[in-house]
Chains A and B, each alone.
Chain A
Amino acid sequence: MFKDSPILVGLEIGTSKICAAIGEDNERGEFTLLGIGQAKSHGVRKGEIVDLAKAQEDVRSALGNAEEQAQVTVRNLFLGVSGRHIEGFNNTGMHPVASDDRLVTPQDVADAANNAKAITLPAEHTILHTIRQRICVDGVEVSDNPSGMLGRKVEAHVHVIYGNSLRIQNSMRLVQSLSIEVNQPVFNGLANAQAVLTPEDKENGALVIDIGGGATEFVFQQGQAIRHSGVFALGGDHLSNDIALGLKINIALAESLKIRHGSAVVASGSQGQMVPLSENDLGLSHRQVSLEHLHRIMSIRLQELFELIAERCAENCLLDEARAGVFLSGGCSHIPGIDTLAQRIFRLPITRGTSRNITGNSATLSHPEFATAIGIARYGGMRQRNRPRRPFNLRDVLPFLR
């Protein structure tokens, strides 16, 4: 039964919540969401695990919820990873066509792609993904499979996503300690794009920004290729922290203030307006804070975040190619006015990303904060369709650990 419709599980260990998505994939590539489970996250800061025991407890509870909903038992899963140690960059590998007749063979293409992977990474870093962008024969861009063509050299342009292997291993060990196998670590941003973008969006070129609790991932996808990706260790936590410091209140109050009254733009009516800090009256006098200040603090932080991303994308002149626009997902995409702010900075159509091309409980799918977990499971499905199923071997990812 499992062979016909493999159960796919995606687990995202986020800063604010831990989310597990269980779904199944049919042979036509349609993905059905069976269950989703989430738990508040306690042991994660800025996308990276800082307290193993707490994180383990939260993962257990999130997976339990999802299992209950989907009525399955999770044995293996795809694990989403994030954090500022993850970087993406473009590289080119070249391979000369050796045969006398200059006929390009699949081996030549594979060699060129392998050469592109042969890069010097910082110590203790490992490649998470290598995504082919395009193949060129003698400098002319050709289809994905140029075998049979004539040429002197094959060039493979790839996007390489790499991260600190020890930190990746941290979250993998956490899952393994629950007796669950990790098929493969998946970069959250990449997975998120798979959930949010339709094939048309991908074709047109789109920038997907996932603003989570502690980290923001961005991926620029065009066709099947990732043109750019990266992580900033900034997110909703920073908004709350800024508010707490700026308005001199505690983090929990700041958090609730952000959710109840937050805005990414300074609303025109907010000048001089005061909002009460606490709603439940325990006989204590209400403290009030200025709504304008709240909005300004949030607006400046988010604006900076978008500017950082825009700056990175502008390095490769990518923003001009994002014809499908910018897709926002993650918890912070709920903030009112965030689309207006993003529009102001990117000058592109802004879409609040929800999981698409997926069947299942539509109420769940429309939540942008679940997109990553769903995307991880979906990405796993794509991987499994493309290659025979094989448990993920730690040694494949961590060659230096031998």
Chain B
Amino acid sequence: MNDASIRFIAVGHAGAQILSGLQARSGSSLECAHADTSPESLRLSLIDRKITLGLSVSHGLGAGGDPEIGRLSAESDLSSIHEFTQGARLVFVITGLGGGTGSGAAPVIARAARESGALVLVIATTPFDFERRRLLYAQEALDRLRVSADAVLAISNQRVRRMHDDRTHPHELYQFANELLAQTLQGLWRLLNAPGLIPLDFAHIERLLRGRHAESAFAAVQATGENRAHAAAEQLLTHPFLDTGSALTSAKEILVSVAGGDDLQIGEVERLIEALQGRCPTAELIVGASIDPALTGHIHVTAITTRPAASAPNPLVGSGFARNDAAPTSTGNEPGMHRGAPIVFNGEDFNREPETRATTDSRFIPPPPELNIEQRQRILSGQRNKPSRRRPDSQMIMNFDIAQRGRFDNTERNRHKGVDLDVPTYLRLGIVLN
């Protein structure tokens, strides 16, 4: 896969910050673009390719924190998005949710990218808990993103906040979050580009993520030193993006890419995988390894996981995964089912009770996006001008049966093709008598 088929779009100011960090890490070889509603932010951006959204909508004033303006802006400039994503196989949409541009435009852009045939991964940050209004916008945007993107990785600023003490400078906090995201992105990018010792390619990622709708999460870590393989495994298992590891332990499949310098040893890869497999007995590990001379002395591990679509993920608490402990599900790991995968480590049941392993459907059928009523209502209400803060069930249903059947009230319904013939015809046809 060449560089040109992976594109990065930063949406809004926060997205641009993260993407700039990534660009700084991996040089300028990335295909990046910065889409924003604010010309001011674009002017300051370090990213070369700039896409102005919705000049005709906001007249250069930006979205002003209103996701509706962000959405309209993105829709008015869809053609330039399409132009950028044309021919891409993988598009990263990077954004910070809660503001107008990120929350409004990112779902539109993700959809546009998907329409041009690419696999779309969204990397997003969500606001702090004290930002009530922005949190609502972010939640809505996430729900929309789940529909329009193949995978959404959301990292909550609040989660990052908890990893720091009270005296931390806010700037430092943002820096840290951006760093984590950039690191992860870089890991993914390397996975796709670095020459493979045990190659993993786009097809693997696509098979893992396509149609999963946010039931996936990814993270990248690096470690150095003597015991670097073990340290990397530990880092992964406590990584905030992976729900402090619970995303791994309940995962169905984990794609692990190990990158190292010339000094990478097969024993290290083995130890790493064993450490992971020991903690994730139900998961099937798909392992790739690559060599990058620049990484000598380091080990970089990127993990992508999926699990069967079950509960609605609540990314506001930290990652793309729900925090509620869904019953661990796993596959029946028949060998030979995955001939395409480079190495298959069959998950063996080490410590768990047998009943915790539930068989699931064939994993070759991607699960349909499962939305519960609340989510559906939220998506529907999100299509209105302003986000609804009413409880979804608050709308009353008017009882039309009052006195309509008159003297036939207590008789058997006279149903014919879905209508009750006892109800006066003029009422059913809506003919007004006046």
Complex CA–CA separation, A10 to B343 (angstroms): 87
Question: Does A275 have its Cβ within 8 Å of any Cβ on chain B?
Answer: no
B409 to chain A, nearest CB (A): 10
Cβ 8 A contact of A245, one of B406, B412, B431: B406
Cβ 8 A contact of A293, one of B421, B422, B433: B433
B426 pairs with A246, CB closer than 8 A: yes
Residue of B nearest to A290 (CB): B433
Residues on A with C-beta less than 8 A from B403 are: 245
Question: Does B416 have its Cβ within 8 Å of any Cβ on chain A?
Answer: yes
Residues on A with C-beta less than 8 A from B411 are: 45-46, 50
A234 pairs with B429, CB closer than 8 A: no
Within A15-66, the residues touching B (CB, 8 Å) are 45-46, 50
Q: Chain A binding site: helix, strand, loop or mixed by DSSP? A: helix
Residues on B with C-beta less than 8 A from A232 are: 416, 421
B433 pairs with A246, CB closer than 8 A: yes
Residue of A nearest to B433 (CB): A293
> Size band of the A side of the interface?
20 to 34
Within B397-429, the residues touching A (CB, 8 Å) are 403-408, 411-412, 414, 416, 421-422, 424-427, 429
A228 to chain B, nearest CB (A): 16
Residue of B nearest to A308 (CB): B416
Complex CA–CA separation, A46 to B415 (angstroms): 13
Question: Does A200 have its Cβ within 8 Å of any Cβ on chain B?
Answer: no
Residues on B with C-beta less than 8 A from A203 are: none
A301 pairs with B408, CB closer than 8 A: no
Within B360-401, the residues touching A (CB, 8 Å) are none
Within A218-245, the residues touching B (CB, 8 Å) are 232-234, 237-238, 240-242, 244-245
Residue of A nearest to B414 (CB): A233
A242 pairs with B416, CB closer than 8 A: no
Residues on B with C-beta less than 8 A from A397 are: none
Question: Does A300 have its Cβ within 8 Å of any Cβ on chain B?
Answer: yes
B421 to chain A, nearest CB (A): 6
B424 pairs with A241, CB closer than 8 A: yes
Question: Does A297 have its Cβ within 8 Å of any Cβ on chain B?
Answer: yes
B404 pairs with A245, CB closer than 8 A: yes
Cβ 8 A contact of A84, one of B407, B414, B426, B427: B414
B18 to chain A, nearest CB (A): 64
B421 pairs with A297, CB closer than 8 A: no
A242 pairs with B408, CB closer than 8 A: no
- Best-surrounded residue of B407, B416, B425 (most CB of chain A within 10 A): B425
Question: Does A304 have its Cβ within 8 Å of any Cβ on chain B?
Answer: yes
Residues on A with C-beta less than 8 A from B431 are: 296, 300
A16 to chain B, nearest CB (A): 13
Cβ 8 A contact of B427, one of A46, A237, A245, A251: A245
A245 pairs with B416, CB closer than 8 A: no
Mark B residues whose CB is within 8 Å of A. Answer: 403-408, 411-412, 414, 416, 421-422, 424-427, 429, 431, 433
A–B Cβ pairs within 8 angstroms, 17 of them: A50-B411, A84-B412, A233-B421, A237-B407, A240-B407, A241-B408, A241-B422, A241-B424, A242-B425, A242-B426, A245-B406, A293-B433, A296-B426, A296-B431, A297-B425, A300-B426, A303-B425
